[in-house]
Amino acid sequence: MRLTRSHLAQPLHVGETVTLPEGVAAHLIRVLRLQPGDACVLFNGDGRDYQARLASVGKREARADIVGVGHADNESPLRISLLQGIARGEKMDWILQKATELGVARILPVNSERSEVKLDAQRAEKRLAHWRDVVISACEQSGRAVVPDVLAPQALALAAAGCDGHGFLLDPGAEASLSSLRDRPPGACTLAIGPEGGWSPRDHDQLRAAGFTGLRLGPRVLRTETAGIAAIAALQAIAGDLA
């Protein structure tokens, strides 16, 4: 039986007893009905899973004994960064969740000329905290013990200039196709996916200036919530861990 995995943002060590955060404790005790002595798995993003057992359950807190540790060897050999034009509400959550499940290493939300979502500093801070929670939940579900970085929203030109590996801009009219990468698979790459309104000509110019090249995924124009996920899955099948 697969054990429930819970994220703790703190150092973890075999032999110690940790106090579980309120949200984690509530899920394990009230939702899953675990009792003292029941097993669970904790992780903190260091690439390892920590085997634990509930030590005590109280009205206001729960504690767990860490009894073992093991390396979670399930990260992709292909380091993919997703440069994503900020999408509205649940679309953005869905993109982050599925990209995490598929193994992306980093997510860069960007503001672009045609972005429909405009975030002031306060809203951006709250949205970033929410996005990071979405990614952590996706790691708990998918078995990942390394949490992808989610950067604060930033301007497209700034994000593009700091991209990892080769930058790819999805373009149905591009000469290069995904299949052409089979002969020269990248070790790291950044996928640039536009918002609902797509990239503007100025956005295209900024991406090209940063070294991004066109990549044809297929003959059809895909929605923002489809394009990145389809491209990540295809890249993982060519050069990652979905082969």
**pLDDT surpasses 90 at 101:** yes
What are the extents of the domains in the chain? 5-71, 79-239
The one-letter amino acid code at 34 reads L
CA dist., res. 232 & res. 241, Å (int): 11
**Cβ-count burial 195-226 (b if 16+ within 10 Å, e if not):** bbebbeeebbebbeebebebbbbeeeebebbb
49-53, 163-167, 172-176, 229-233: range with lowest mean pLDDT: 172-176
CATH number belonging to the domain at 5-71, selected among 3.40.50.740, 3.30.43.10, 2.40.240.20, 2.40.50.140: 2.40.240.20
CATH number belonging to the domain at 79-239, selected among 2.60.40.2220, 3.30.429.10, 3.40.1280.10, 1.10.620.20: 3.40.1280.10
Question: Other CB atoms closer than 10 Å to residue 167's CB: what's the count?
Answer: 21
- 3-state secondary structure (DSSP) of residue 145: coil
The pLDDT tens digits for 205-217 are 999 999 999 998 8
155 vs 49, 64, 120, 192, CA distance in Å?
36, 43, 13, 13
Asked if 195 contacts 87 with a C-beta cutoff of 8 angstroms, the reply is yes
| Cα angle: 44, vertex 47, 53; to 5 degrees | 55
Kind and range of the H or E run holding 45:
none
Kind and range of the H or E run holding 193:
strand 188-193
pLDDT at 207: 95
The candidate with the shortest Cα–Cα distance to 168, out of 147, 150, 149, 192, is 192
The candidate with the shortest Cα–Cα distance to 164, out of 147, 187, 135, is 187
CA dist., res. 128 & res. 121, Å (int): 10
Alpha carbon dihedral 165, 171, 176, 180, in 10-degree steps, equals 70
pLDDT at 173: 81
**pLDDT surpasses 70 at 1:** no
Higher local confidence (pLDDT), 186 or 71: 71
How confident is the model over 73-77, as a mean pLDDT?
94
Asked if 225 contacts 196 with a C-beta cutoff of 8 angstroms, the reply is no
Q: Do the domains spanning 5-71 and 79-239 agree at the CATH topology level?
A: no
Q: What percent of the chain has pLDDT over 90?
A: 70
pLDDT at 210: 95
pLDDT at 219: 85
How confident is the model over 213-235, as a mean pLDDT?
92
Asked if 17 contacts 62 with a C-beta cutoff of 8 angstroms, the reply is no
